[in-house]
């Protein structure tokens, strides 16, 4: 693990979304986070420090993961404050978690204003088509960037962080120069599964997605 001196900047990242969408699993896939976990029992959060080695230096995210208090309540403003970026996660297999994305987004922006945000559709290893279409409808109406991923298979697991770093550092050509330390996948995301995702996304190209740097 890199020493603290070599970290060029640290960003507070708030990880939100409905319970059971996979937030804690996602952050725990990153092994570096295991070293410096902090708990704040009052706010009900766990903060994991994740390092990313890029062509612009080493950056750290302090990822604030809500510890079982995903309900819409007054506590949340306390951990939204001073967030510099955010991931809103939903479960692609559960429409109700998608339906709440707008609400999470509205509440987040209400406290944090215009910060870089990624919407992450997790559990694409389950991938029910109907839910995927619902998710894509959301993006068609939205200017928000979204990434489909699986915390179970590690599919696209580093992409939300790379996207946020590009925005925060202001360099669209920023890229990882070292793979993040990630636990091995629980199941392997096969080529066939990848192709299914690609095919489905191809079917949905009749609209313009927001610009990406990929």
Binding site for Mg ion (CB under 5 A): 23-24
Starting at the edge strand found earlier in the chain, the sheet holding 38-40 runs 38-40, 45-54, 57-66, 7-17, 85-91, 117-122, 145-148
Number of chain residues interacting with ligand GDP (CB under 6 A): 14
Question: Of 81, 126, 177, 201, which one interacts with ligand GDP (CB under 6 A)?
Answer: 126
- Shortest Cβ distance from residue 33 to Mg ion (Å)? 13
Question: Of 11, 13, 14, 23, which one interacts with ligand GDP (CB under 6 A)?
Answer: 23
- Shortest Cβ distance from residue 27 to Mg ion (Å)? 8
- Indicate whether 31 belongs to the interface with ligand GDP (CB under 6 A): no
- Shortest Cβ distance from residue 65 to Mg ion (Å)? 6
The binder of 34, among ligand GDP, Mg ion, none, by C-beta within 5 to 8 A per type, is: none
Collapsing DSSP to helix, strand or coil, 19 comes out as coil
Backbone dihedral angles phi then psi of residue 120, each to the nearest 5 degrees? -115, 115
β-bridge partners, 157: none
Chain position whose Cβ is nearest to ligand GDP: 22
- Indicate whether 122 belongs to the interface with ligand GDP (CB under 6 A): yes
Task: Annotate 65-110 with DSSP letters as a single string.
Answer: EE-S--SS-TTHHHHHTT--EEEEEEETT-HHHHHTHHHHHHHHHH
Show contacts with ligand GDP in window 141-200 (CB under 6 A): 150-152
Query: DSSP class of residue 14?
Result: E
User: For ligand GDP, which is the closer residue by CB, 94 or 175?
Assistant: 94
- Indicate whether 20 belongs to the interface with ligand GDP (CB under 6 A): yes
- Shortest Cβ distance from residue 3 to ligand GDP (Å)? 30
The binder of 20, among Mg ion, ligand GDP, none, by C-beta within 5 to 8 A per type, is: ligand GDP
Task: Annotate 133-199 with DSSP letters as a single string.
Answer: HHHHHHHHH---EEEE-BTTTTBTTTHHHHHHHHHHHT-TT--BSS---BPPPSS---HHHHHHHHH
- Indicate whether 21 belongs to the interface with ligand GDP (CB under 6 A): yes
User: For ligand GDP, which is the closer residue by CB, 21 or 83?
Assistant: 21
CA distances from 194 to 37, 166, 188, 200, 201 (A): 33, 25, 11, 10, 11
Binding site for ligand GDP (CB under 6 A): 19-25, 122-123, 125-126, 150-152
């Amino acid at each position: 693990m890199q020493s603290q001196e070599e970290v060029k900047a640290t960003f507070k990242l708030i990880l939100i979304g409905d319970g059971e969408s996979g937030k804690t699993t996602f952050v725990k896939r990153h092994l570096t986070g295991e070293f410096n976990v902090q708990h704040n029992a009052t706010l009900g959060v766990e903060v994991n420090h994740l390092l990313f080695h890029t062509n612009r230096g080493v950056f750290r995210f302090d990822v604030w993961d809500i510890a079982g208090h995903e309900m819409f309540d007054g506590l949340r403003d306390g951990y939204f404050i001073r967030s510099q970026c955010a991931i809103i996660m939903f479960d692609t297999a559960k429409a109700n978690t998608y339906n709440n994305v707008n609400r999470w987004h509205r509440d987040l922006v209400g406290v944090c204003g215009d910060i870089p945000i990624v919407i992450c559709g997790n559990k694409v290893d389950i991938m029910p088509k109907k839910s995927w279409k619902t998710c894509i409808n959301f993006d068609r109406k939205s200017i928000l960037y979204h990434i489909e991923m699986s915390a179970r298979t590690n599919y696209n697991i580093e992409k939300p962080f790379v996207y946020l770093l590009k925005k925060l550092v202001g360099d669209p050509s920023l890229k990882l120069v070292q793979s993040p330390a990630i636990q091995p996948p629980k199941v392997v995301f096969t080529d066939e599964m990848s192709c299914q995702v690609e095919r489905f996304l191809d079917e949905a190209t009749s609209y313009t997605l927001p610009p990406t740097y990929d």
